[in-house]
């Protein structure tokens, strides 16, 4: 495992070509020295504008982003897994990054230390990882059909939950944990009672007909948004009494061509959300008014991962190959990788349903 601290420093600059470069049609701020292979996840620190990205080049990288009219950033550090890195999560105080991937190892990386620690192991690649502040532990979801809970102080898991299938997507909004697996299962857990019962609170068949690609818990914890490979999103509530509010809609389609939904991310202030897709675009939506807030131009490559920063003022997204069309469509010579930062004005993301914002932008 390798770590590099401050040995490579770059700055962001907006691409000001007419209409934007092919990979940057929105003329957003571009992160220099991005990963060398597809970006698998983007994760912002809960306490600052540190951005963490995992990649198929085995790396977990961190940049320090400064917000403002002209966004700037410095590449801060990186570590390396022994196989593609698929997921990462920040500790609540922003001091540590936890990561997992195809080497099946759970790593804990304290930003005060140059070397990460191995704190756990699965029998197959780790697809999802989350730090749970209220439980002081890490949860990982794997293709070995298990959820595992880790203390970080012992190589043995605190608990292991058997799942019906491989984990494809997962999201956490304590006490709500939603896990989407193969065979279109959605398992809903109440983490506040998990010590007394390891059975899911509810098992929901996916409201979408095709394979699940991503899932995101509502900010108020009453449900989730689900994206599939068929260019469709479902907005689903957990309690049966709210079933009248459930709906699904088509998006990220171009006539007869259908694209996967790679990421769904809720805005931390307004509760509206973004979808990012294999079609190379992202859109902002308002589930409460059931309408699209803004459609953005398509980039030359898929948007493989995305996320809002802690106050929702910046939307970070990766333009890189997402393997949705298989290895035969991957050409390393032309398929470059980019991470772009889009400043988010209130006019683009504000709810139109009279929803009051949560908190204030810092």
Note the pLDDT tens digit of each residue in 121-169: 999 999 999 999 999 999 999 999 999 999 999 999 999 999 999 999 9
The predicted structure's pLDDT at residue 7: 33
Question: 330 CB contacts (<8 Å, ≥6 apart)?
Answer: 321, 323
Q: Which residue has the higher pLDDT, 212 or 114?
A: 212
The predicted structure's pLDDT at residue 324: 78
Report the candidate in 227, 236, 230 with the shortest Cα–Cα distance to residue 262: 227
Secondary structure in 3-state letters for 298-358: CCCCCEEEEEECCCCCEEEEEECCCCCCCHHHCCCCCCCCEEEEEECCHHHHCCCCCCCCC
pLDDT classification of 359: cutoffs 50, 70, 90: low
How far is the C-alpha of 104 from the C-alpha of 324, rounded, in Å? Answer: 22
Provide the 10 A C-beta neighbour count for residue 195.
10
Residue 292 belongs to what H/E stretch? Answer: strand 291-295
pLDDT classification of 361: cutoffs 50, 70, 90: very low
| β-pair partners for 78 | 4, 61
pLDDT classification of 14: cutoffs 50, 70, 90: very low
pLDDT of 328 higher than 60 = yes
The predicted structure's pLDDT at residue 8: 34
Q: Which residue has the higher pLDDT, 191 or 68?
A: 191
Extract the tokens encoding 172.
């956490």
C-beta separation of 170 from 180 below 8 A: yes
pLDDT of 3 higher than 70 = no
In this prediction, residues 50-54 reach a mean pLDDT of 98
How far is the C-alpha of 139 from the C-alpha of 128, rounded, in Å? Answer: 8
Q: For strand 176-181 and strand 185-190, is the pairing parallel, antiparallel, or unpaired? A: antiparallel
How far is the C-alpha of 2 from the C-alpha of 357, rounded, in Å? Answer: 42
Give the pLDDT confidence of 191-226 residue by residue, as tens digits: 999 988 899 999 999 999 999 999 999 999 999 999
Q: Which residue has the higher pLDDT, 327 or 316?
A: 316
Question: 60 CB contacts (<8 Å, ≥6 apart)?
Answer: 52, 53, 54, 78, 79, 80, 81, 85, 88, 97, 99, 107, 109
How far is the C-alpha of 50 from the C-alpha of 65, rounded, in Å? Answer: 6
Strand order in the sheet with 223-228: 212-217, 223-228, 232-237, 247-250
In this prediction, residues 41-54 reach a mean pLDDT of 98
3-state secondary structure of 244: helix
Residue 99 belongs to what H/E stretch? Answer: strand 96-101
Give the pLDDT confidence of 267-302 residue by residue, as tens digits: 999 999 999 999 999 999 999 999 999 999 999 899
The predicted structure's pLDDT at residue 16: 31
In this prediction, residues 156-185 reach a mean pLDDT of 98
Please state which of the ranges 20-29, 132-141, 180-189, 234-243 shows the lowest mean pLDDT.
20-29
pLDDT classification of 335: cutoffs 50, 70, 90: confident
The predicted structure's pLDDT at residue 327: 80
Give the pLDDT confidence of 78-98 residue by residue, as tens digits: 999 999 999 999 999 999 999
Please state which of the ranges 7-16, 98-107, 179-188 shows the lowest mean pLDDT.
7-16
Looking at every residue in the chain, the average pLDDT score rounds to 91
pTM of the complete model: 0.92
């Amino acid at each position: 495992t390798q770590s590099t601290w401050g040995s490579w420093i770059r700055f962001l600059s907006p691409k000001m070509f007419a209409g934007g470069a092919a990979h940057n049609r929105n003329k957003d701020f571009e992160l220099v020295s991005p990963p060398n292979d597809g970006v698998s996840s983007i994760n912002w620190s809960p306490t600052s504008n540190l951005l963490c990205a995992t990649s198929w080049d085995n790396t977990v990288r961190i940049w320090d982003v400064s917000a403002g009219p002209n966004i700037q950033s410095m590449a801060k550090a990186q570590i390396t897994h022994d196989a593609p890195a698929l997921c990462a999560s920040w500790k609540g105080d922003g001091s540590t990054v936890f990561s997992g991937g195809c080497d099946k190892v759970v790593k804990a990386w304290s930003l005060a230390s140059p070397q990460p620690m191995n704190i756990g192991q699965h029998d197959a690649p780790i697809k999802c990882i989350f730090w749970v502040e209220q439980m002081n532990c890490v949860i990982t979801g794997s293709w070995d059909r298990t959820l595992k809970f880790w203390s970080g102080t012992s190589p043995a898991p605190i608990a292991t939950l058997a799942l019906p299938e491989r984990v494809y997507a997962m999201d956490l909004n304590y006490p709500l944990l939603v896990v989407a697996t193969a065979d279109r299962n959605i398992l809903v857990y109440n983490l506040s009672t998990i010590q007394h019962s390891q059975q899911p609170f509810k098992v929901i068949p996916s409201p979408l007909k095709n394979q699940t690609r991503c899932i995101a818990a509502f900010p108020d914890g009453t449900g989730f948004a689900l994206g599939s490979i068929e260019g469709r999103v479902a907005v689903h509530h957990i309690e049966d009494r709210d079933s009248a509010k459930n709906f699904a809609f088509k998006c990220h389609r171009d006539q007869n061509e259908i694209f996967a939904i790679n990421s769904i991310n809720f805005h931390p202030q307004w509760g509206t959300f973004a979808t990012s897709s294999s079609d190379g675009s992202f859109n902002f939506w308002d589930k409460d008014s059931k309408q699209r807030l803004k459609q953005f131009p398509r980039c030359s490559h898929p948007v493989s991962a995305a996320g809002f920063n802690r106050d929702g003022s910046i939307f970070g997204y990766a333009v890189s190959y997402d393997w949705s069309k298989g290895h035969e469509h991957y050409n390393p010579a032309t398929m470059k990788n980019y991470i772009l930062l889009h400043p988010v004005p209130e006019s683009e993301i504000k709810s139109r349903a009279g929803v009051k914002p949560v908190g204030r932008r810092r």
